[in-house]
Structure 1
Amino acid sequence: MLRELSQLLDELHEGLVQLELREGVALRGVEMTLPLEFRVVLRDGGCALLADVPRAREGHEWLPRASRLSVGWGESP
């Protein structure tokens, strides 16, 4: 299900927070590169960037290749 990129990033961050709480670890910095499908949609008089992980693992020539997004979280100085 494609959703706004900001929502996807919030969910990834929340997963890291839950990992820290559940496992009792302290993450100082996390970097990940994710394959994502993107779609730009026009709605409510504006533009939204929707994204999600690829829905199909198999490579089909009629499906576009997933883009890659690199994201990192770390402590503020």
Structure 2
Amino acid sequence: MLARRRLVSPEIWAGHYDAPLDEREIARHYTLTSDDLEFVGRRRGDATRLGFAMLLLTMRWPGRALEAGE
């Protein structure tokens, strides 16, 4: 079995996932561009478009899909 070691400390890791509180950062991370809107608009059904848009935005920040309850 391969040895495992931490590359990043828990403190740094936790800071990476802290939600942006600044209004500019929120807008930067969670605003869809016109290209994004066109891409999302190609999906069928309102629920599918909403889910796809949410997935697209969470891939930008925090860079992963959210867990249930997050």
Structure-2-length-normalised TM-score: 0.25
Name the structure where strand makes up a greater proportion of residues: 1
Name the structure where helix makes up a greater proportion of residues: 2
Instruction: Give the structure, 1 or 2, with the largest relative contact order (CA under 8 Å, sep 6 or more).
Output: 1
Structure-1-length-normalised TM-score: 0.24
